[in-house]
Amino acid sequence: MSKKELDIIIKIAQEAGEIILQYYRKNMALRTKFNDPENFLTIADEQVDKFIRKRLHEEFPDDLVLSEENDFVPQDYSGRVWMVDPLDGTGYFVHGQDGFSVMIGLCINGIPTLGVVYASARKDLFYAEKGKGAFFQNTFQKITNFTKQARRIGVSSISQLNQARFVIRKSMGKERDADRIVQKILVKEKIKEGSSGLKISKIAKGDAEFHLSTIQRTAKWDTCAPQVILEEAGGKLTFVDGTLLNYKQNSVIWHKLYLASNGLIHQKVMERIKKINMLEAQEK
């Protein structure tokens, strides 16, 4: 992995973010996916998907690309595979909120190696390369050289639940089954945030201690980029039972809830979730 490759991906993410802003808070046709009235698909998703895939194929013609808004699914994840969510947090975008982002991650031989999360409405950029640290920059000026001006970030040192900040989703309507767990985990503060990439990046930046996904339909493109950022900041991302995410598996969907944290509080959160599930089972 070279610095040139990172610079290319940052530029692609920034340009993709500008395309999204052309549609932001504008009237547009809406469709839904997976028979879910909260899972939107817009022209912005489609246009950004086309742009990112085109640019990745131009710059890295030998690499594979897995994107949320494209039907192509690699049959082999042992090489270099880019994992892209062109518009993470479409629901927030549709409702005129700023909690959406572009996410581009690279897996090499099943290992998340590079990640970029760019929230264009906020001009917030998070990025990381495996073994080289995680970085953040905010700018309202045209992006020319992020990597010279960004600051290194790291997770917090909080290790107790009663002192922790739990970053949770902003509800867009109906509750999810796992929301009951969120309600039963007692912490110092619960902070609402938009897309999964921004939730995880908030932990990497030290502004929260953990996040629990509440839907079992998350996919490789939801976690690849932010996982690199979180781990390079000193944090941890696993499934709620502690097992690691296997990016070589054939299915793009995880089918399990994941837990992202600063690492120090990870075990305590898993134990708390296990206890909640046991108590609920006894009550049935």
The predicted pLDDT at position 178 comes to: 80
- Identify the band that residue 134 occupies on the pLDDT scale cut at 50, 70 and 90: very high
Instruction: Summarize pLDDT for 84-123 with one digit per residue, the tens.
Output: 999 999 888 888 899 999 999 999 999 999 999 999 999 9
Q: Please tell me the distance from the alpha carbon of residue 162 to that of residue 122, in angstroms, as a whole number.
A: 30
- Identify the band that residue 146 occupies on the pLDDT scale cut at 50, 70 and 90: low
All domains in the chain, ordered by first residue: 3-153 (3.30.540.10), 161-283 (3.40.190.80)
Asked whether residue 261 carries a pLDDT value surpassing 90, the answer given is: yes
Calculate helix-pair angle for 196-204, 220-232, nearest 10 degrees: 10
Q: Please tell me the distance from the alpha carbon of residue 182 to that of residue 237, in angstroms, as a whole number.
A: 17
The predicted pLDDT at position 30 comes to: 55
Of residues 116 and 149, the one with the higher pLDDT is 116
> Which amino acid appears at position 279 of this protein?
L
Asked whether residue 149 carries a pLDDT value surpassing 80, the answer given is: no
> Which amino acid appears at position 206 of this protein?
G
| Range list of β-strands (E), the chain | 31-33, 36-41, 64-67, 80-88, 101-108, 111-119, 124-129, 134-138, 151-153, 165-169, 189-193, 210-212, 236-239, 258-261
Tell me which of 49-58, 139-148, 180-189 is least confident.
139-148
Q: Residue 190 corresponds to which tokens in the numbers above?
A: 């619960």
- Cα Dmax for the chain: 58
- Identify the band that residue 179 occupies on the pLDDT scale cut at 50, 70 and 90: confident
Tell me which of 15-29, 34-48, 132-146, 155-169 is least confident.
34-48
Of residues 144 and 125, the one with the higher pLDDT is 125
Of residues 94 and 166, the one with the higher pLDDT is 166
Rounded to 10 degrees, the C-alpha dihedral 217/115/108/66 comes to 50
Beta bridge partners of 14: none
Instruction: Summarize pLDDT for 6-43 with one digit per residue, the tens.
Output: 999 999 999 999 999 999 988 665 555 444 545 556 88
Residue 68 has a CB neighbour count (10 Å cut-off) of: 21
pTM: 0.91
The predicted pLDDT at position 20 comes to: 94
The predicted pLDDT at position 148 comes to: 61
- Across the chain, what does the average pLDDT equal? 90
- Identify the band that residue 195 occupies on the pLDDT scale cut at 50, 70 and 90: very high
The predicted pLDDT at position 27 comes to: 67
Of residues 30 and 190, the one with the higher pLDDT is 190
Asked whether residue 271 carries a pLDDT value surpassing 70, the answer given is: yes
The predicted pLDDT at position 34 comes to: 47
